[in-house]
Amino acid sequence: MKKSQVIARYLQTQLNLLKCPICQSDFSSIQGITLTCVHGHSFDISKKGSVFFLNAPVKTEYTTEMLIKRQKIIQAGLFQPVLARISTLLKGDRIIDAGCGEGSQIKTIAQAHAANYFAFDISKPAINLAVSGADFAEKVAFFVGDLAHMPFKDHQFTDIVNILSPANYSEFKRVLAPGGQLIKVMPNAAYLQELRQLVYPTGANATYDPEPVQAHFLQQFPDSVLEQMHYTFDLTPDLAQALFAMTPLTWMATAGAAADVTSLQRITVDLTIAIAEI
């Protein structure tokens, strides 16, 4: 069976969780590989198995080459302890990954926690990469979608995962069911510090202050539980180059820094996992 048909069959069983991102009405049916809402707006499932829920493509700074590098180092285990911890924190079986990137993280979580997963990102190249691998999973549906207009009904989901990605807290609160939870992963000051020191040895970018992002989260969810994850990850020269290419931290790097990156033998992962119950 083709990927598009597999996802069509899966989404048919989950149609009551989705809503049309254009008119916010219910989807009435899936005919073949086409989702149609009660007002006639239709969305085709691609051959690779994703659904494009935007009015038009949005250009982002993440190129396909960068995303491939990101996929490589994530699949090598850069965030494995974090993903393993998230899989133990999930409460239910209707889970959104908001800002899923190229999909490696939610696929890893899905292998450890059986559930229905709905992952989306505004980047079409990221979603194309997410559905292109051999690790295709029937119960992980990937969408190209807008964080400000998520194609999900109100108060239907048990968990939202938001890993090192922008957030829309009003939308998150809208789609989470009572008792549901948001799991957000945010960087701490030492996150990728060896790479930062290589790229920005001095100046304003030489350090990172996590307080504004974390304070904003706590304003929204003052009763959250915060867990710290701090460890180092060993790098080969090849993985060091992938790390350099995957992160916005290096977008303004000099050619010299790019040449020196293979000297990095390990990298610090310093993150906060914030758990907020709705």
Domain locations in the chain?
A: 3-277
Secondary structure of residue 202 in the 3-state scheme? coil
Name the fold adopted by 3-277: Rossmann fold (3.40.50)
**Can you list the residues of the chain whose pLDDT is less than 50?**
none
pLDDT at 191: 97
pTM of the model: 0.95
* Span 123-149, pLDDT tens digits: 999 999 999 976 777 789 999 999 999
Distance of alpha carbon 110 from alpha carbon 115, whole angstroms: 7
CA distances in angstroms from 75 to 78, 135, 140, 156, listed in the order given: 7, 11, 17, 30
- Inter-residue long-range contacts of 86-90, CB under 8 Å, 24+ positions, other chains counted: 86/161, 86/163, 86/183, 86/185, 86/273, 87/112, 87/113, 88/112, 88/113, 89/181, 89/183, 89/273, 89/275, 90/115, 90/158, 90/159, 90/161, 90/183
Question: Which pLDDT score, from 0 to 100, does residue 258 have?
Answer: 62
Report the distance separating Cα 55 and Cα 262, nearest Å: 41
| Per-residue pLDDT at 247 | 85
